[in-house]
Amino acid sequence: MIPKKLRDEITSLVRREVVPAVGCTEPVAVALCVARATEELGCLPAAIEVSLSANVLKNAMGVGIPGTGMIGLPIAIALGAIVGRSEKGLEVLEDVTPEAVSAGRRYIEEGRIRIGLAENPPSVLHIEVRVSNEAGEFAEAVISRTHTGFVVVKRGDEVVFESDMCEGTPGEGAAVSADCELDMATVVEYALETPLEEIDFILDARKLNMAAAECALNGDYGHSLGSSIRNGLGLKLFGDSPLEHIISYTSAACDARMGGARIAVMSNSGSGNQGICATMPVVSYAIDCGASEEETIRALMMSHLTSIYIKQSLGRLSALCGCVVASTGASAGLTYLLGGGYREICSAVKNMIANLTGMICDGAKPSCSLKISSGVSTALMSAMLAINGKCVTEAEGIISDDVDRSIHNLTSIGREAMRETDRLVLEIMTGK
């Protein structure tokens, strides 16, 4: 068994990276930064200036903001100033009301918000906010590298808070904490052998993300992919099967989140969609196969911790779609529920990398449910092949015999080789 000290470090890592979030994490992080700066100013700002890294801008442009019926950054920024409370972290917009939304609309119409690209940001996840009042007094806040990671807070010229993380190399990735470095063997051992009472907190992900799925299945959010698959023509085409259940539940939770439903989801590595993708395939199949509570807990931990491990070398934001990562975690969890051990889990991971590497991220938006559906359907297929003793070999493409080397091949492509892809995607999005 993994030594207790290392188990505690991994548990702490999971607790930091698997947390509730209301709304898409990029615009919410911007709202959080605005809220903190506003608190230092001490009044509703007369003007707000926001400078963002390209990846944050890309992920915040087209997503619904919970409880508003609106999309994008302006309303998130306005509400961050009007009702945001920074102590709530990624649930900073929890207190949105219809009155606040009306006030936010007026704030936007009055032209009080300016949004631009940050020049040479030290991280791909970087947010700078400056708020000022009518008298010219100002306050500033900066978030960098993590969605809640404040590195500078100022009231006028007075530094209220400063972290040593404020220095960095331009373009550096927003890494997931690597204070305990993982490998696939450690991930599997931790998920399967850690005493249950140390990891059963992961069931909170099932509770939150299943509620999001049910919300969308009973409503009309985003492109309604989940409910379309479950009913009418979708049911005829997909049937009433474990695969249909996995796709419909997972895409429905994404429909709700991207469509602006006022619900919290359990995120993974700073992404609600990744949290959904790591959770719902496992939860859905656990129900279908009659898995025990212990099996469900261990499969969920396998999925979430695999995703965290991959993100440690990929970074929080990249040109590679996060569903590739989270679906790979889900495939590991599904393989365990299908009766697989370490060998089969590694095979499933390599099968996933052989298939989905290269899927681009073109921002957070309602159509993310389509990419998530591609990811989780591939997750079940990859797990099935692994259980049948089939695995993509070292002679094929970017796969290595070593599963950890294969994972790092994936993350190198997403982190380094796709930088130009990321630049062109943003150019296309902002040029429309």
Domains located in the chain, CATH noted: 24-166 (3.30.1330), 184-431 (1.10.4100.10)
Q: Is 420 exposed, middle or buried (0-12, 13-18, 19+ CB in 10 A)?
A: exposed
Question: What string of pLDDT tens digits covers the 432 residues of the chain?
Answer: 899 999 999 999 999 999 998 878 889 999 999 999 999 999 999 999 999 998 899 888 888 888 888 988 999 999 999 999 999 998 898 889 999 999 999 999 999 999 999 988 998 899 999 999 999 999 999 999 889 999 999 999 999 999 865 444 333 445 565 568 899 999 999 999 999 999 999 999 999 999 999 999 999 999 999 999 999 999 999 999 999 999 999 999 999 988 888 888 999 998 999 999 999 999 999 999 999 999 999 999 999 999 999 999 998 888 899 999 999 999 999 999 999 999 999 999 999 999 999 999 998 889 999 999 999 999 999 999 999 999 999 999 999 999 999 999 999 999 899 989 988 988 898 887
pTM exceeds 0.75, yes or no: yes
b/e map of 377-412 (b: 16 or more CB within 10 Å)?
bbbbbbbbbbbeeebbeeeeebbeeebbebbbbbbe
**pLDDT attached to residue 179:** 65
Yes or no: say if 360 and 370 are a contact pair by the CB < 8 Å rule: no
